[in-house]
Amino acid sequence: MDAATLTETRKITYDDAVVRGFVWASVGWGLIGMLVGLLCALQLSFPALNFDIPWLTFSRLRPLHTNAVIFALVGNMMFAGIYYSSQRLLKTRMASDLLSRVHLWGWQAIVLGAALTLPFGITQSKEYAELEWPLDVLVVLVWVAFAANYFWTLAIRNEKNLYVSIWFYISTIITIAVLYLVNNLAVPVTMTKSYGVFSGAQDALTQWWYGHNAVAFFLTTPILGIMYYFLPKAADRPVFSYRLSIVHFWALVFIYIWAGPHHLLNTALPDWAQSLGMLFSLMLWAPSWGGMLNGLLTLRGAWHKVRTDPVLKFFVAGVTFYGMATFEGPLLSIKSVSALAHYTDWIIGHVHGGALGWNGFMAAGMFYWLVPKLFGVKLRSTLLADLHFWIGMTGILLYVASMWVSGISQGLMWRAETADGGLVYNDWSAILTSQQMMYATRSVGGGLFIIGWILMAWNLVATARAGRAVTVETEVTVLRTAPLPGEPTVPQLVFSKPVIFSALGLVAATAFAMPNIGLAVVGLVTLFVIVAFSAGMLFRSTRVGKHTWHGLIEARPLAFSVLTLVAVLIGGLFEMLPGLITDKQVPLASNGQMCVQPYTALELTGRDIYVREGCYVCHSQMIRPFRSEQIRYGAPSRIEESMWDHPFQWGSKRTGPDLARIGTKYNEAWHWDHMGDPRMVVLNSIMPAFPWLYDRKAEAGIAVEKMNVLRKLGTPYAEEQLINAQADYEAQAATVVANLASQGKTGADPESEIVALIAYLMRLGRNLEPASQQAAAIEGGK
Amino acid sequence: MLRQLLANTSLFSLPVLATCIFVAIFLAVLLRVSQRARAPEYRRMSSLPLQDDSERRDQP
């Protein structure tokens, strides 16, 4: 301790009631979310399990499952961990009990809102961002309450330096706010329907910038913060290397944000964006494994405890799954690997390795450690916790292995060609049927994981009932360090050498990424020199006493937060801006006609039904430039085909085949039969039936309002199209009905939803046709 | 000579080269940080989570 330090003792009572609230919310919602997932998995083996009820149908439940697991299970778990560890690491109670309660109950209201809207088809259909605009507003308000409370707590803290966990929490709060706001920018049409401001490829880029970083900054960084706090506590060992955690943090938050486009490899997205996504995904290997090693090596000298302590078992397995998932992720981001794996079950296996292994096991480990502390008793049954571990582990292995097998099989079967250049597996349902054993195994694996979760829930409740909620009071020693002579101010720190050199490094990296070989070489050499210099500088003591540069930054939350925001924004700006600021040129044919016509009133209504039913959950609309896909589906998709699509429907999974050119493949009668009873048309289909579409009236009345909103967003609707929207709707619906009648399907109601949906499906694949040809196709009944 | 080098270099090799450099730097940093930290600040900070074990728990 240097001479300029004063010591003072303070009494603190932690607010652990909010922690208990988040723990129980996570355990309860998590169970519901996983049961919904199990029902989804079973429906892939037994499609009749939707009982022909809309809100029990796979395509509506799958978004509920993902949202519940991400935002309810992991969300509540991470908030519990954040509130518990932050108060102790900052040596202060949360600044506002009221804001903590607003956060706790507001978050549960959001989860409840999701449960009451998603199964009823109220969705934006953007993965993990499905919630419609009123709930989005609530999310923003609750997040602001959380952020205000957190930064206020940072301001009144009694520990000058911020421990590594706090850095990860700060990055989560800042980045999720940015991601959520940008990806959910939308213009409402009604209380339950809005259109996002981006469309087509821009929407795809924005969505996967968000989707990927929701994984990064919601499922990863806060859990890493939790790892850095709870793992040392459980092992009773300090973190292996504090310096490694510095590198881990900055490298991770800077690199992660660039990697979003790896979800769009081999699509119509521009090549430069795809390459950027792939390259940064590969770079993620390094910091991710640095973090994993730092976690596992924290147990040095304490490995014997893993044998007997279930908490450490869960943590060790969780961190190991983190390592496996972050190895597999970059692997899947290599373009040629993605060509095989994308749209298949392999991705589902990868996701669940992370979700069940990393998030699920870290949650369990934290709960087993935390609940006894929160209720002042020992864990009710260590044996049961051990049993949970082994059941859960078996479940994960069955789940992941079965999805690897089915995913790789699917990828290989989709592309298998005969000697004369045809497809070996023309029949899609034959491919799916061959995977049924794997689907059953997946259900067993998921079921086992849920059984383990139920054992945990019982064990935790029994523990809580054996004790009482405790109020923790503690005395902390506060070090009041007087500023040393010459200690830099915040602006001096932000513009200090390490930051300046990092910025120069980024400029060099940009030069390197330019498609100019001379510039690229100069950039590369400069980058090498600067990165090496910056890395060395990061650890060198400054001239100020014994403080390191990073130590000085750690003591200033504002400077730290600004630098984190900059690190995150750079990747986001580079990835998004070129795509977003490009003017949309309306492509014209040689005769002056618009190439890609906006959807008609009927097609738009049908498209919104397609979105509501969650068809994107199983069907892509993006034909990749592979021979096998051209044979199966037609010409590769072009970027302009989806340019007026709010939201884009490129999809991320092909449980069913691609639909980008489905309109040119079948006639209206085929869709009529197929939507009503898929197995009547395709014997072994596992698609759910949608009988309610035949009785429900479509929302024809608001089509013009929808078109008005879309016109404001840049869709080139002519004035007369808006004026005649209702008449056009009725005329086209009458044409569809007449076509159906001519194909033997009489009695179709022109006002029904199925007619609108068929009109949309018949449009798919015709976007590049001149308008006159499209009209002829509609008239001609295909 | 530089012109010849540039003309014969494929653009594709640059990302590969960059990845190799990145991994090499990462390994060097890993090696560096695995050595004993000299700054006492790191030792104090890394043991911060272990400091709150002296909490007093009062049942309401």
pLDDT of amino acid A483: 59
Measured between CA atoms, the residue of chain A closest to residue B36 is A241
Q: What is the mean pLDDT of residues A749-777?
A: 85
Which domain, by its residues, includes B31? 9-36
Residue A214 above 90 pLDDT? Answer: no
Q: Where are the domains of chain A?
A: 489-541, 601-779
> Is B27 a member of any domain?
yes
Q: What is the mean pLDDT of residues A698-711?
A: 96
> Is B56 a member of any domain?
no
- Reported confidence tier of residue A457, pLDDT bands at 50, 70, 90: very high
User: Residue A438 corresponds to which tokens in the numbers above?
Assistant: 């794997």
| C-beta of residue A66 within 8 angstroms of C-beta of residue A219 | no
H/E element holding A10? Answer: strand A5-13
- Reported confidence tier of residue B5, pLDDT bands at 50, 70, 90: low
- Tell me the whole-structure pTM to 2 decimals: 0.90
Cα R_g (chain A), whole angstroms: 28
- Reported confidence tier of residue A637, pLDDT bands at 50, 70, 90: very high
Residues of B with CB under 8 A from a CB of A: 6, 9, 11, 14-15, 17-19, 21-23, 25-26, 28-30, 32-34, 37, 39-43, 45-50, 52-60
Residue A347 above 80 pLDDT? Answer: yes
| C-beta of residue A448 within 8 angstroms of C-beta of residue A394 | yes
Burial of B40 (0-12, 13-18, 19+ CB in 10 A): exposed
Q: What is the mean pLDDT of residues A110-131?
A: 96
| C-beta of residue A217 within 8 angstroms of C-beta of residue A254 | no
User: Residue A389 corresponds to which tokens in the numbers above?
Assistant: 């571990």
Residue A172 above 90 pLDDT? Answer: yes
Burial of A513 (0-12, 13-18, 19+ CB in 10 A): buried
pLDDT of amino acid A268: 81
In sequence order, the 6+-apart residues with CB closer than 8 A to the CB of A334 are A278, A282
Distance from CA of A328 to the nearest CA of B (A): 17
Q: What is the mean pLDDT of residues A92-98?
A: 97
pLDDT of amino acid A542: 43
pLDDT of amino acid A560: 87
Burial of A580 (0-12, 13-18, 19+ CB in 10 A): middle
From the CB of residue A683, how many other CB atoms can be counted at a distance below 10 Å?
Answer: 11
Distance from CA of A541 to the nearest CA of B (A): 8
- Chain B residues with CB-CB distance to A229 below 8 A: 49
CATH homologous superfamily of A601-779 equals: Cytochrome c-like domain (1.10.760.10)
Residue A6 above 90 pLDDT? Answer: no
Burial of A125 (0-12, 13-18, 19+ CB in 10 A): buried
Distance from CA of B19 to the nearest CA of A (A): 7
B11/A551 touch (CB, cutoff 8 Å), yes or no: no
pLDDT of amino acid A3: 44
> Is B19 a member of any domain?
yes
Question: pLDDT digit string (tens) for A494-526?
Answer: 677 767 776 777 677 666 666 666 676 677 677
Residue A262 above 70 pLDDT? Answer: yes
Calculate the average pLDDT of chain A.
90
Q: Which of B35, B48, B54, B57 to mutate to test the interface with A (most CBs of A within 10 A)?
A: B48
Q: What share of chain B is helix, strand, coil (3-state, %, to 5)?
A: 70, 5, 25
Question: pLDDT digit string (tens) for A640-661?
Answer: 899 999 999 999 999 999 999 9
| C-beta of residue A668 within 8 angstroms of C-beta of residue A762 | yes
Number of domains within chain B: 1
- Chain B residues with CB-CB distance to A524 below 8 A: 14, 17-18, 21
pLDDT of amino acid A595: 77
